[in-house]
Chain A
């Protein structure tokens, strides 16, 4: 009996590890280092439609690269012994592969734009394909006999290929664990068939159901796609590990609403320990910030993270004559749905002297920004977890945070929570803490005394223990 850990995501990732990639790489490290001899690694080869074993040395190589923060090269995937061919993929998947292959032939300068175009309009491509199928059916019905002895099917979704037992790396009773970007990289219908055919036991992850619950805060209309993904996860998994009580509640509610089965749902606490990167001299941008008092907000700049509330709260403070206030430092990439906000921040003369936006910040710079901040802020509208809050606590920093969703699960009463939409309250509490640094210091002393960050080893050990519980001897 083997415990299989799927590393498809980190194998194909070519940027520094963030979010889900970080979770997969840290847990893979624990599985790799575990004294348990039956842990093995695999990846899903989508083009061939099957799972492939990954050699432990290859895993080690990938993990070292992540640890060094180096860009991961695309790893060649070993051949699947007798996996189903591309022709066994669905029409939509074949269309996707064809488009990707075309885009890859474009010059590099056009490739990104073409990929973005294709991604944001993928529903139009799929819609066109469906329209073609229905038009073909309509034409056949129109010109064919009224009741054909072999009537064409109007809608017949392509089934996933049946697993070929000879080519399978899994054995009956094995446990499979996956926590990566499965909605993009896996074929859950195939995984379900594996589960049925060989009694594979399956552990999957739920980070959050924000794309279904709050689709308006996501890029494009992804609600239906992710609802299907979570439904398939529920059918495939014997156990789903959710990263917060809030995510577990949300997922249970969704599964109930759509009528999917509800497998065992457990909560896993993600690591939030401070990375032990060697401290280097700060970069020029960061060094400039470090010369001032500032509050720190670490997060991608997107609608859901609600930078807007901080902007408005700062404007209220400034309009009320509070001039000697700390800088407001945003660390993170500009993302989706913030065009107007970024324009306001650029053009509003009231806020210009106080705002700093930093992007592509190294671990060392980030650590220095945390250490020297007056305190941190996190007004997010919804989170499945809330890493910046956990990180802030791990650095011993007080945080003024949103009371939405999972955020309060991690800070307990060590930090203060506010309604993310309540701009006057944010202005009032920011102003109060600016005027009472002794209160911030008192809070920080308590955090240093009482808060214990979860280590990635603990997270990895928990996941492995959950997998072991499912193993059939």
Chain B
């Protein structure tokens, strides 16, 4: 068999992967390529959110001034990914540009999340090169309920039509795809209930990280000598609303000499909320906001922390931050939702699952008054290896190849 050709469609580029979705996509592409696939990524991305060095040659910008940024003539926040699908599949949008760049023969079209399903459908319908391509749908979570929770947290109550459209798109993607990837067992069941023919569980994984001695020294001199906890997250609204729901509005559970360290763009929002709280002086005396860090700095900060905080309530998928925290061997204080897809790790001695602010606070106090978590043993190292991308995605190329062969046989 010739090298299979795969179009990888997404709503964000992954030349310089930073957030969880980009990292997953980048690893998927790497895994396919390592197995001989020719991977052609097409990202239809929000122009305002990425630097030109972030994007690939075939990626298509979705301009903030585009008329496709309106939903039925009105502006609705948090749904640009969904709107990107309509933009990508329209002649007035990016379709003509994309179709000119599609290779002469395509075996597989894989959509990461359901957003670009309209593009995949049109390519399969109209382009001879894609007519016989298999459709693979990589679900990262069940989107409609998650977006509803974002709307709810912002008091948006007039967006039922948007939610209905997103729900319909998601169900259509599940039904139409020859193969669906789910990241948790719960998502797998839901996708099967949507009518998906074949759903495969493909956990989110992580790449092991190296820490530079120089960055380690740099951060060691700037962060507290006493044990401290780390929270890494983007400015995605549930990241800070969940934090407040999980931990409350006071950081009094942090000892006076310790600190709560926040990395990532969520920091600005957390700082704003915690400094407006009734417990402002407690919070500001214990909070360190680092802002966005590059990989080397983040690796050093992760290596120095005493433990990770994973206050995740929203979303149906699994979380790469969880995998990184579990892999580190440090203390992990998390919600049951953050362990979705990682149930096997719940019993690790350094993992504490908290279900209320009081439980979170008690766990934080206990962890910060404890000696560092015990070193990783050979047995637990084996369990942790299962968190790496290489392990999580290993079966992907084989299964897709199998799918192609089956299709050929049927044909």
* A157 with B256: CB separation less than 8 A: no
**In the complex, chain B residues whose CB is within 8 Å of the CB of A150:** 218, 297
Shortest CB-to-CB span from B371 to chain A, Å, is: 12
Q: A196 in the interface, Cβ–Cβ < 8 Å?
A: yes
Can you list, as one digit per residue, whether each of B355-366 has a CB less than 8 Å from chain A (1) or not (0)?
001100100110
Chain B residues 290 to 315 lying within 8 A of chain A, measured CB to CB, are 290-294, 296-297
**In the complex, chain A residues whose CB is within 8 Å of the CB of B294:** 147, 149
Can you list, as one digit per residue, whether each of A262-276 has a CB less than 8 Å from chain B (1) or not (0)?
000000000000000
* B257 with A189: CB separation less than 8 A: yes
Shortest CB-to-CB span from A397 to chain B, Å, is: 40
Q: A258 in the interface, Cβ–Cβ < 8 Å?
A: yes
Q: How far is the CA of A410 from the CA of B188 in the complex (A)?
A: 66
Shortest CB-to-CB span from B365 to chain A, Å, is: 6
**In the complex, chain B residues whose CB is within 8 Å of the CB of A261:** 365
From B267, B280, B292, B358, give the contact of A259 (CB < 8 A).
B358
* A227 with B256: CB separation less than 8 A: no
**In the complex, chain B residues whose CB is within 8 Å of the CB of A157:** 259, 284-288
Q: Chain A residue with minimal CB distance to B366?
A: A261
* A258 with B279: CB separation less than 8 A: yes
Q: B322 in the interface, Cβ–Cβ < 8 Å?
A: no
Q: B253 in the interface, Cβ–Cβ < 8 Å?
A: yes
**In the complex, chain B residues whose CB is within 8 Å of the CB of A146:** 51
Q: B250 in the interface, Cβ–Cβ < 8 Å?
A: yes
Q: B226 in the interface, Cβ–Cβ < 8 Å?
A: yes
A-B contact count (CB 8 A): 103
**In the complex, chain A residues whose CB is within 8 Å of the CB of B296:** 149
Given contacts A147-B294, A154-B289, A228-B282, contact A259 B222 (CB under 8 A): no
* B255 with A155: CB separation less than 8 A: no
Q: A223 in the interface, Cβ–Cβ < 8 Å?
A: yes
* B256 with A224: CB separation less than 8 A: no
Q: How far is the CA of A224 from the CA of B284 in the complex (A)?
A: 11
Q: B248 in the interface, Cβ–Cβ < 8 Å?
A: yes
**In the complex, chain B residues whose CB is within 8 Å of the CB of A153:** 222, 288-291
* B281 with A228: CB separation less than 8 A: yes
Can you list, as one digit per residue, whether each of A153-176 has a CB less than 8 Å from chain B (1) or not (0)?
111110110100000000000000
* A154 with B271: CB separation less than 8 A: yes
* B282 with A235: CB separation less than 8 A: no
Q: Chain B residue with minimal CB distance to A158?
A: B285
Q: How far is the CA of A192 from the CA of B225 in the complex (A)?
A: 13
**In the complex, chain A residues whose CB is within 8 Å of the CB of B252:** 227, 231, 234, 255, 258-260
Q: How far is the CA of A234 from the CA of B293 in the complex (A)?
A: 34
Q: How far is the CA of A236 from the CA of B357 in the complex (A)?
A: 22
* B357 with A259: CB separation less than 8 A: yes
Q: A232 in the interface, Cβ–Cβ < 8 Å?
A: yes
* B257 with A159: CB separation less than 8 A: yes
Q: B224 in the interface, Cβ–Cβ < 8 Å?
A: yes
Interface footprint category on A: 35 or more
Can you list, as one digit per residue, whether each of A219-243 has a CB less than 8 Å from chain B (1) or not (0)?
0000111011001101110000000
* A196 with B281: CB separation less than 8 A: no
Chain A residues 188 to 204 lying within 8 A of chain B, measured CB to CB, are 188-189, 192-193, 196
Given contacts A154-B267, A189-B257, contact A196 B282 (CB under 8 A): no
* A258 with B250: CB separation less than 8 A: yes
Q: B210 in the interface, Cβ–Cβ < 8 Å?
A: no
Q: A151 in the interface, Cβ–Cβ < 8 Å?
A: yes
Q: B278 in the interface, Cβ–Cβ < 8 Å?
A: yes
Q: How far is the CA of A425 from the CA of B280 in the complex (A)?
A: 40
Q: How far is the CA of A397 from the CA of B282 in the complex (A)?
A: 44
Q: How far is the CA of A15 from the CA of B267 in the complex (A)?
A: 47
Q: B268 in the interface, Cβ–Cβ < 8 Å?
A: yes
* B222 with A224: CB separation less than 8 A: no
Q: How far is the CA of A286 from the CA of B293 in the complex (A)?
A: 71
Can you list, as one digit per residue, whether each of B363-389 has a CB less than 8 Å from chain A (1) or not (0)?
011000000000000000000000000
Shortest CB-to-CB span from A232 to chain B, Å, is: 5
* B293 with A151: CB separation less than 8 A: yes
* A227 with B291: CB separation less than 8 A: no
**In the complex, chain A residues whose CB is within 8 Å of the CB of B224:** 159
**In the complex, chain A residues whose CB is within 8 Å of the CB of B222:** 153, 156
* B256 with A188: CB separation less than 8 A: yes
Q: Chain A residue with minimal CB distance to B274?
A: A155
Shortest CB-to-CB span from A410 to chain B, Å, is: 31
Chain B residues 136 to 170 lying within 8 A of chain A, measured CB to CB, are none
Given contacts A159-B224, A231-B252, contact A151 B282 (CB under 8 A): no
Residue from B224, B256, B358, B361 whose CB has the most chain A CB atoms within 10 Å: B256
From A141, A225, A236, give the contact of B256 (CB < 8 A).
A236
* B282 with A227: CB separation less than 8 A: yes
**In the complex, chain B residues whose CB is within 8 Å of the CB of A255:** 252
Can you list, as one digit per residue, whether each of A122-151 has a CB less than 8 Å from chain B (1) or not (0)?
000000000000000000010000110111
Can you list, as one digit per residue, whether each of B381-402 has a CB less than 8 Å from chain A (1) or not (0)?
0000000000000000000000
Shortest CB-to-CB span from A73 to chain B, Å, is: 33
* B271 with A155: CB separation less than 8 A: yes
Shortest CB-to-CB span from A342 to chain B, Å, is: 31
* B287 with A155: CB separation less than 8 A: yes
Shortest CB-to-CB span from A134 to chain B, Å, is: 9
* B287 with A227: CB separation less than 8 A: no
**In the complex, chain B residues whose CB is within 8 Å of the CB of A232:** 256
* B284 with A147: CB separation less than 8 A: no
* A259 with B256: CB separation less than 8 A: no
From B248, B278, B289, B293, give the contact of A155 (CB < 8 A).
B289
Shortest CB-to-CB span from A378 to chain B, Å, is: 30
From A149, A152, A192, A225, give the contact of B257 (CB < 8 A).
A192
* B248 with A193: CB separation less than 8 A: no
Q: How far is the CA of A192 from the CA of B282 in the complex (A)?
A: 15
* B255 with A235: CB separation less than 8 A: yes
* A151 with B290: CB separation less than 8 A: yes
Chain A residues 19 to 53 lying within 8 A of chain B, measured CB to CB, are none
From B284, B291, B365, give the contact of A151 (CB < 8 A).
B291
Given contacts A227-B282, A260-B253, contact A154 B225 (CB under 8 A): no
Can you list, as one digit per residue, whether each of A173-192 has a CB less than 8 Å from chain B (1) or not (0)?
00000000000000011001
Q: How far is the CA of A159 from the CA of B364 in the complex (A)?
A: 20
Q: How far is the CA of A232 from the CA of B256 in the complex (A)?
A: 6
* A189 with B292: CB separation less than 8 A: no
**In the complex, chain B residues whose CB is within 8 Å of the CB of A193:** 226, 257
Residue from A159, A225, A234 whose CB has the most chain B CB atoms within 10 Å: A159
Q: Chain B residue with minimal CB distance to A233?
A: B256
**In the complex, chain B residues whose CB is within 8 Å of the CB of A223:** 278
**In the complex, chain A residues whose CB is within 8 Å of the CB of B250:** 227, 257-259
Q: How far is the CA of A259 from the CA of B291 in the complex (A)?
A: 26
From B225, B279, B293, B365, give the contact of A224 (CB < 8 A).
B279
Q: How far is the CA of A162 from the CA of B259 in the complex (A)?
A: 15
Given contacts A149-B296, A228-B281, contact A259 B287 (CB under 8 A): no
* A227 with B279: CB separation less than 8 A: yes
**In the complex, chain B residues whose CB is within 8 Å of the CB of A151:** 290-293, 297
* A259 with B286: CB separation less than 8 A: no
Q: How far is the CA of A152 from the CA of B284 in the complex (A)?
A: 17
Q: How far is the CA of A257 from the CA of B278 in the complex (A)?
A: 12
Q: Chain A residue with minimal CB distance to B215?
A: A149
Kindly list the 6 A-B residue pairs having the minimum CB-CB distance in the complex, ordered from nearest.
A259-B361, A258-B252, A228-B281, A260-B252, A154-B289, A258-B250
11 further A-B contacts with Cβ under 8 Å, apart from A156-B222, A225-B281, A231-B252, are A141-B291, A146-B51, A154-B267, A154-B290, A155-B284, A159-B225, A196-B226, A224-B278, A227-B279, A255-B252, A259-B358
- Can you pick out 6 interface pairs between chain A and chain B where the beta carbons lie within 8 Å of each other? A153-B289, A155-B284, A155-B289, A157-B259, A196-B226, A235-B255
Interface residues of A (CB under 8 A from B): 141, 146-147, 149-157, 159-160, 162, 188-189, 192-193, 196, 223-225, 227-228, 231-232, 234-236, 255, 257-261
Interface residues of B (CB under 8 A from A): 51, 218, 222, 224-226, 247-248, 250, 252-253, 255-257, 259, 267-268, 271, 278-282, 284-294, 296-297, 357-358, 361, 364-365
